[in-house]
C-alpha cells in the first residue's frame, strides 16, 4: 500500500511557453512513513504534492494511493477518495468568519458526517491538537502555531489515511515549527497516518522525516533514508542542503601547505560519541588542534563532524589520513563550498 507515482509527469501549457514542472517520475512512499520532499523554489515540490490528491491532473502516468488508481476515478469517486487525503498549507487556509470550533465543524458538515456525533468529533479533534481552550476563539486572535493546529484538526476531521503538508511550518518561528513537527510526528505514530511534507529547510527534514526525496528542476534527483542523506549525500544539490547543518569554514588565518592541513572527520553511528581524538593524539607525532565540531542526532542516531588543523611532517599527515580511511565508522568529510 502507500503512495505510488508511476511515470507521472506534469507540464503546464501557458500562452507562449510550456513549463515542465515535473518530469517523468516514479516514486513509492511507504504506508505509515513520513516522507519529506526538499528542493529550492520552483523545483516542482508543490506540483508533485498536489498530484497525490489530484488537485493537479498528471499530464501522463498514474497516481495510486493505498491501492486505488486515482486517475481512473470519476469526479464523484475522486471527491470521496480525497476525504481520505488531508492537506495542510503554509497560509493555514482557515475561514476567518468562523470560530475554531466552527472551522472544524464545517469540514465535517461538508462531508455529511453523522450530525449526532459531530460535536464529539470536533471536541476530540480539538483535544488531539491541544486547542480545547481556544474552541470559541476567532482565527484572527490565534498565533501562527495555533492556526496551523486548527488546520491540522480540519485535515484530520475525516480520518484520512494520508496527510499532505505544503510548507506547513514555513510561516512559523523556529520554536513553533518544532512544536508543530512534534504534533505531526505524534499523529503519524499514534494514528498511523502516512505523511508527505514539502519544505525548503533541511532542519524540518532532520526533525521529522523517515525518508527524503531531493528535488531539482522538476526531478527527484536523490531519495534515501534521512540519516544516509545527511551522512552520504550524493548529488551536489543535496550536498548543498546538508552542508547547512555543519557550516564549517576553514578559518582565514590558516594557510594550508604540505605540513599544515585541515582535515574534517565524519563519525558515523555510535562512533560519533567515541573518543577518537585521543587515539589520534596518541598514535601520531603531529600537532593537532580542533577548529570546529558538532554532533547531530538524526532519528536518534548520532552523526559527528570534527574539523582539525594538523601540523607536522607531511608523511605523518598522510599516515593519519590512511588511518582515518582504514578505520571503521569514521571517514574524511568533504567541505562543500
Ligand atoms: N498552475 C501553474 N501554471 C503554470 N506554471 C506553474 C503552475 N504551477 C506551477 N508552475 C510552474 O511549475 C514549476 C514548479 O513549481 P512548483 O510550485 O511545483 O515548485 P516548488 O518547488 O513547490 O516551488 P515553491 O517552493 O516556490 O512553491 C515552476 O516553474 C512554476 O512556475
Residues 189, 314 within the same domain: no
Mean pLDDT along residues 47-57: 95
Report which protein residue has its CA nearest ligand 1's atom 3. Answer: 12
The DSSP string of 209-272 is: -SEEEEEETTEEEEEEEHHHHHHS--SHHHHHHHHGGG-----TTPPPBTTEEEEEEEEEGGGG
| Greater pLDDT, 295 or 190 | 190
Res. 246 pLDDT band, cuts 50 70 90? confident
Last residue of a domain, one of 189, 208, 243: 243
Mean pLDDT along residues 175-200: 96
- Cα 218 to middle of ligand 1, angstroms: 9
The DSSP string of 277-290 is: HHHHHHH--SEEEE
Tell me the three state secondary structure of residue 88.
Answer: strand
| Greater pLDDT, 317 or 1 | 317
> What span, in angstroms and rounded, lies between the C-alpha atoms of 293 and 304?
7
Task: Compute the residue count for the chain.
Answer: 337
Q: Which residues does 315 contact at the CB level (< 8 Å), separation at least 6? A: none
Residues 166, 137 within the same domain: yes
Under a CB-based contact definition with an 8 Å cutoff, are residues 219 and 23 in contact?
yes
Q: Is residue 150 part of a domain?
A: yes
Residues 186, 252 within the same domain: no
Which pLDDT value is given to residue 143? 95
Which pLDDT value is given to residue 181? 97
Which pLDDT value is given to residue 336? 59
Residues 264, 294 within the same domain: yes
Dihedral sign, Cα of residue 82, residue 86, residue 90, residue 91:
positive
Last residue of a domain, one of 243, 269, 298: 243
Mean pLDDT along residues 177-181: 96
Whether the pLDDT of residue 35 is over 80: the answer is yes
Res. 243 pLDDT band, cuts 50 70 90? confident
Residues 237, 252 within the same domain: no
Q: Which residues does 261 contact at the CB level (< 8 Å), separation at least 6? A: 309, 310, 311, 317
Domain that holds residue 272: 248-332
Residues 53, 196 within the same domain: yes
Residues 160, 179 within the same domain: yes
Res. 250 pLDDT band, cuts 50 70 90? confident
Q: Which residue has the cell 528542476?
A: 217
Last residue of a domain, one of 191, 208, 243: 243
Q: Judging by DSSP bridges, how do beta strands 3-13 and 18-29 pair with one another? A: antiparallel
Residues 260, 307 within the same domain: yes
Which pLDDT value is given to residue 16? 92
Return the number of other C-beta atoms located less than 10 Å from residue 161's C-beta.
Answer: 20
Ranked by mean pLDDT, which of 156-160, 276-280, 301-305 comes out on top?
156-160
Residues 171, 293 within the same domain: no
- Cα 210 to middle of ligand 1, angstroms: 25
Q: Is residue 328 part of a domain?
A: yes
Report which protein residue has its CA nearest ligand 1's atom 14. Answer: 44
Q: What is the pTM of this model?
A: 0.91
Q: Is residue 62 part of a domain?
A: yes
**Structural domain total, the chain:** 2
CATH number for position 105: 3.40.50.300
Q: Is residue 93 part of a domain?
A: yes
Residues 176, 325 within the same domain: no
Which pLDDT value is given to residue 10? 97
Which pLDDT value is given to residue 328? 83
Under a CB-based contact definition with an 8 Å cutoff, are residues 64 and 70 in contact?
yes
Q: Is residue 337 part of a domain?
A: no
Whether the pLDDT of residue 337 is over 60: the answer is no
Mean pLDDT along residues 176-197: 96
> What span, in angstroms and rounded, lies between the C-alpha atoms of 195 and 165?
7
Instruction: Give the Å distances, CA to CA, from 311 to 3, 257, 330.
Output: 53, 9, 20
Tens of pLDDT, residue by residue over 56-108, are 999 999 999 999 999 889 989 999 899 999 999 999 999 999 999 999 999 99
Q: Which among 77, 53, 50 is positioned nearest to 65, based on CA atoms? A: 53
CATH number for position 320: 3.30.70.260
Q: To test the ligand 1 pocket, which listed residue (19, 36, 38, 171) has its Cβ within 8 A of the most ligand atoms?
A: 19
Residues 174, 262 within the same domain: no
Residues 238, 258 within the same domain: no
Ligand 1 site: residues with CB under 6 angstroms?
12, 14, 19, 21, 39, 41-47, 200
Which pLDDT value is given to residue 154? 97
Amino acid at each position: 500500500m502507500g503512495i505510488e507515482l508511476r511515470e507521472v509527469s506534469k507540464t503546464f501549457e501557458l500562452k507562449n511557453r510550456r513549463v515542465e514542472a515535473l518530469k517523468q517520475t516514479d516514486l513509492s512512499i511507504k504506508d505509515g512513513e513520513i516522507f519529506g520532499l526538499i528542493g529550492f523554489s520552483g523545483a516542482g515540490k508543490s506540483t508533485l504534492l498536489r498530484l497525490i490528491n489530484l488537485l493537479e491532473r498528471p499530464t501522463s502516468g498514474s497516481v495510486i494511493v493505498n491501492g486505488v488508481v486515482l486517475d481512473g476515478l470519476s469526479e464523484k469517486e475522486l471527491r470521496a477518495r480525497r476525504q481520505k487525503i488531508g492537506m495542510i498549507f503554509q497560509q493555514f487556509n482557515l475561514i476567518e468568519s468562523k470560530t475554531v470550533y466552527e472551522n472544524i465543524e464545517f469540514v465535517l458538515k461538508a462531508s455529511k458526517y453523522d450530525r449526532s456525533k459531530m460535536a464529539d468529533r470536533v471536541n476530540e479533534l480539538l483535544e488531539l491538537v491541544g486547542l480545547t481552550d481556544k474552541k470559541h476563539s476567532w482565527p484572527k486572535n490565534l498565533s501562527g502555531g495555533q492556526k496551523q493546529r486548527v488546520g491540522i484538526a480540519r485535515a484530520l476531521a475525516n480520518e484520512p489515511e494520508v496527510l499532505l503538508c505544503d510548507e506547513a511550518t514555513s510561516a512559523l518561528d523556529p520554536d513553533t515549527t518544532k512544536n508543530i513537527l512534534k504534533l505531526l510526528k505524534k499523529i503519524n505514530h499514534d494514528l498511523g497516518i502516512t505523511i508527505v511534507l514539502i519544505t525548503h529547510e533541511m532542519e524540518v527534514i532532520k526533525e521529522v522525516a523517515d525518508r527524503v526525496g531531493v528535488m531539482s528542476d522538476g526531478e527527484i534527483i536523490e531519495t534515501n533514508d534521512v540519516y544516509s542523506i545527511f551522512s552520504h549525500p550524493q548529488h551536489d544539490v543535496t550536498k548543498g542542503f546538508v552542508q547547512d547543518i555543519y557550516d564549517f569554514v576553514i578559518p582565514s588565518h590558516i594557510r594550508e601547505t604540505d605540513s599544515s592541513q585541515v582535515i574534517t572527520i565524519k563519525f558515523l553511528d555510535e562512533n560519533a560519541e567515541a573518543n577518537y581524538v585521543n587515539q589520534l593524539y596518541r598514535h601520531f607525532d603531529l600537532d593537532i588542534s580542533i577548529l570546529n565540531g558538532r554532533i547531530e542526532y538524526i532519528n536518534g542516531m548520532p552523526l559527528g563532524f570534527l574539523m582539525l588543523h594538523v601540523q607536522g611532517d607531511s608523511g605523518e599527515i598522510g599516515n593519519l589520513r590512511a588511518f582515518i580511511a582504514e578505520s571503521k565508522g569514521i571517514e574524511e568529510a568533504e567541505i562543500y563550498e
